[in-house]
Each structure stands twice: as structure tokens, then as C-alpha cells.
Amino acid sequence: MPSEPPSIPIANPDLGREEQQRVADVLDSGMLADGPTVRAFEGEFAEYCGVDHGVATSNGTTALHTAFEALGLGTGDRILTTPFSFISSANTIRLCGAEPVFADIDPETYNLDPEAVIDTIEAYDGDVDAILAVHLYGLPADVERLRTIADTYDALLIEDAAQAHGAMVNGDRVGGVGDAACFSFYPTKNMTTGEGGMVLTDEQAVADAAARFVNHGRAESGYAHVELGHNFRLTSIGAAIGRAQLEKLPDYIEARRANAARLNDGLADLPVTTPYEPDDRTHVYHQYTIRTTARDALIEQLDARNIGSGIYYPTAIHDQPAYDGYAVEAPVAETATEEVLSLPVHPSVNEDDIDRIVDALTEFF
């Protein structure tokens, strides 16, 4: 009987000796919670992204929540975002007391469409306090235009870079265009700390407010809790893993981009839409996402060949039950939810795996 082909998972965190050694060092130190390892990781990640300050958090969701609070956003404020993202992007807006409003996406980049952003802000008579731009799948949103729009309407710009560590716009890494940027280090992301996240900002006052918020509103020194806050702190164990992962991130990005290029070549003649990378942006392929109207049947074919795939996202955020009552016009996002399919592109996918994926799609079509 022929043996089953090995599975090609949709995600596969790469953890090795370096991470083990750094975690062992933390265990030896006895400082498991906040401490110097977290400070070091904050500094190293911020420097890598070209941003002045980093505040580590317990995950990407708490990074977003912290950024909103640190920027003074909350009850009575409107934050515009995309309905085509992980639900965390919008949930955190509500969790800080603000109102999410949704603008449609661009069909090629899957990110906020600047024209739709302007129309949506105008529909609220210009009364939108912030824009949360998600760099979906690892492709930067059009942050330069979004910055201009935000400035025009006197709104803040926040980057949800949970999927885009190291992605670039005109040679600059994401994280520095917004008033703050938020990252996730969940295990399926392009680098991990287990659970973890980070807020980046060039503003000292925002960084200080974020550092207080993740630590029960506690002032930098002493035992005074000067405002309300949470425990949203990252552990030193997570930070230790993150420091090792950050050293490997450039190689991870190179491997993802090489795999994406091979997939692009292999799928070029098939009736699927492959990812779009505008000339001014560097995609880091957190997901390699194609579009096809034959999605369900294709997934069956991939399943039968032990090839993982994923739908990010099958439902627009405003169509989730928790968003009943949010009136949103986002036909481009809604169509995308019916057609997108992500294929394995992570660094442990090798050339034989790519051949298997391409063969499966070629046979299918």
C-alpha cells in the first residue's frame, strides 16, 4: 500500500537550540515575569523596526488595547478599521470603549482602500478620531496615503502589524509611520514568543503611558499607581524566545519570500489570483493567499493530498454575531471572504513541498 505523503501544515513554528538556551538562562535567573530580558527584547525589536520605543505585552490583542489607551482613545471616540482582519482588530476598539467604523478594502492588496476610508470619514462628517490600518497577510497597507488622510482629518494612525514583522514601505520597516504600531508574537506568526505582543512608538509620552497601562497604571519608580491599568505584561520566558526568534527573522522573511516567488511561478498559468506586491512595498508573506471561486472543491483536493490550507477570514468582522447591528457597506471585503485561500509558505516548506502544492493545484484546474 502506498504510504501517505507527509503533511505540509499551514503553519509550523521553528524553535531550536537558541530558544532553548535563552529560556534555560531565564529559568536559571529565577526572573520569570517582567525584568531585564523583557527590556532587552523591547529595545532590540524596536531598533529592528526603526522605532524609538517598544513596550512588550502579553499578546497582540493587549498590544492594540494598550496602544489605544496610551493614545487617549476611548469612550466617545470613533476608530476606523477594516472589516477584513482577525476580529481582535475591531474587538479591541470596543474593549477600550470606542466605536469601530468599517471601510472597505482594496481587492488586490486586501488592505484598507484609501478612497473608501475618505468616503467613510466623510459619511461621519469628518468625525473619526483614529484609523487602525492592518497590514494583512504581511503586506503593508498604503500607510503613506492613510497618514495623509489621518492628518487631513486630525485623526491618529495606528498600525496593526500583527502579521507584518519586518515588512517594508519604500525601504522602511512597518511600525514607524503610525502614531503607534502593534505586533503579535503568536506561534503561527512570522516570529513568536509563545503568546506575546508589542507596542512601538516614537513618542516618549505614549511609550510611558503604554508601560504604565500594562502594569496596573504603576509609575516607573516607586509603588504609586497613578492611573487604572491592567496586567498585560510579557513574561521573561516569552521575551527570551523572542530575542532568539528576532535574530532569525531576516532568514525567515527571505525563506517566505523565496517560497512565495516559487508559488507565483508555479501557479502563473492557473485560473487563480496570486498575491499582489506593489513596487513600493515588501511583502513578508505571513500568508500566501490566492483567490478562487472554486475554493471548497480545491480545499478537498488539498486535504486529500495532505496539504494544509486556511481561510483568513471566512467571515467579515461586521458579519460576526458579536457585531449584530453594525451597518456596514463592504462588498469587496465580503466577496474576499468567499474566495481567499492561504497555502503553506512558512520557512519549513521546502522546494519539494512547493512542487507538491503546485502539482495539486495544476491537476485540480
Ligand X SMILES: Cc1ncc(COP(=O)(O)O)c(C=O)c1O
Taking residues 132 to 171 in sequence order and writing x for each that binds ligand X by CB under 6 A, - otherwise, the string is --x-------------------------x-xx--------
Q: Is 86 in the site for ligand X (CB under 6 A)?
A: yes
The C-alpha atoms of residue 161 and residue 168 are separated, in whole angstroms, by 11
Nearer to ligand X, 53 or 135 (CB): 135
Out of 184, 235, 282, 289, point to the residue binding ligand X (CB under 6 A): 184
**Residue 66 is a binding residue for ligand X (CB under 6 A):** no
Compute the least distance from the CB of residue 105 to ligand X, in Å: 13
The residue among 39, 68, 71 whose CA lies nearest residue 55 is 39
Residues 194-253 that bind ligand X (CB under 6 A): 197
Residue of 339, 292, 275, 284 lying closest to 311 (CA atoms): 339
Q: Judged by CB, which is closer to ligand X: 92, or 292? A: 92
Smallest gap from residue 317 Cβ to ligand X (A): 11
Q: Which position's Cβ is nearest ligand X?
A: 60
Pairing state between β 78-81 and 99-102: parallel
Beta carbon of residue 162, minimum distance to ligand X (angstroms, whole number): 3
Contact with ligand X (CB under 6 A) among 66, 81, 88, 287: 88
How far apart (Å, rounded) are the C-alpha atoms in residues 28 and 17?
16
Binding mask 11-50 for ligand X (x = CB under 6 A): ----------------------------------------
Minimum CB–partner distance for residue 134 and ligand X (Å): 5
State the pairing for strand pair 180-184/156-160: parallel
Sign of CA dihedral 121, 127, 133, 136: negative
Which residues does 172 contact at the CB level (< 8 Å), separation at least 6? 50
Helix (H) or strand (E) holding 303: helix 295-304
Phi then psi dihedrals of residue 198, to 5 deg: -155, 145
User: By C-beta, is 88 or 337 nearer to ligand X?
Assistant: 88
- Please choose, out of 10-18, 21-29, 81-89, 138-146, the segment that lies near ligand X by the rule CB under 6 A: 81-89
- Look at residue 242 and give its three-state secondary structure: helix
What's the min distance (Å) between Cβ of 20 and ligand X? 22
Between 12 and 306, CB nearer to ligand X? 12
Among 54, 60, 242, 310, binds ligand X (CB under 6 A): 60
Q: Which of 41, 48, 153, 186 binds ligand X (CB under 6 A)?
A: 186
Quick one: which segment of 22-30, 54-62, 75-83, 276-284 binds ligand X (CB under 6 A)?
Answer: 54-62
Residue 164 Cβ vs ligand X, minimum distance, rounded to whole Å: 9
Site string for ligand X, 97-136 (x = CB under 6 A): -------------------------------------x--
State the DSSP H helix or E strand holding residue 89, giving kind and residue range, or none if neither: helix 88-95
Return the percent helix, strand and coil in the chain, to nearest 5.
40, 15, 45
DSSP H or E segment with residue 117? helix 114-123
Compute the distance between CA of residue 318 and CA of residue 99 in angstroms, rounded to an integer: 13
CA nearest 247: which of 12, 11, 16? 16
CA-based R_g, the chain, Å: 21
Binders of ligand X: how many residues, by CB under 6 A?
Answer: 14
Placement of cell 527584547 in the chain: 41
Grid cell digits, residue 232: 498585560
C-beta closer to ligand X: residue 89 or 235: 89
**What is d(CA 265, CA 286) in angstroms, rounded to the nearest whole number?**
19
Applying CB under 6 A, which residues contact ligand X?
59-61, 85-86, 88-89, 134, 160, 162-163, 184, 186, 197
